[in-house]
Amino acid sequence: APAAASASAPAAAAPATAKADAGKALYTATCQACHGAGIAGAPKFGDKAAWAARLKQGNATLYEHAIKGFTGKAGMMPPKGGSSAPDDEVKAAVDYMAAAAK
């Protein structure tokens, strides 16, 4: 019985792992160009202070700004960072960056 329980646990985690991998891959391929160095007012990856106010807005707002684009006082975010990635991958990249800033 313990073997069956441990066999099902990795299967349950697989979708979450795949999503995290997709987010990291998109970050590396696209988002890192601006978020790696803080170009155009982009909050730098892992910079807790730069991300704090953005994280307080909630995931729905972060997703909308990342997918549709946003221009604010500090800079601008082009829609999907200029990529043609599907919305779910953009959301995964947002989750990846947000997790690094918490």
Q: What is the pLDDT of residues 4-62, one digit of tens each?
A: 444 445 555 677 888 889 999 999 999 999 999 999 999 999 999 999 999 999 999 99
Helix (H) or strand (E) holding 60: helix 59-68
Domain that holds residue 23: 19-100
CATH at 72: 1.10.760.10
Q: What is the pLDDT of residues 72-82, one digit of tens each?
A: 988 899 999 99
Q: Which amino acid is at 36?
A: G
Cα gap 13→64, rounded to integer Å? 26
Q: Is the residue at 12 inside a domain?
A: no
Tokens of 21: 């991998």
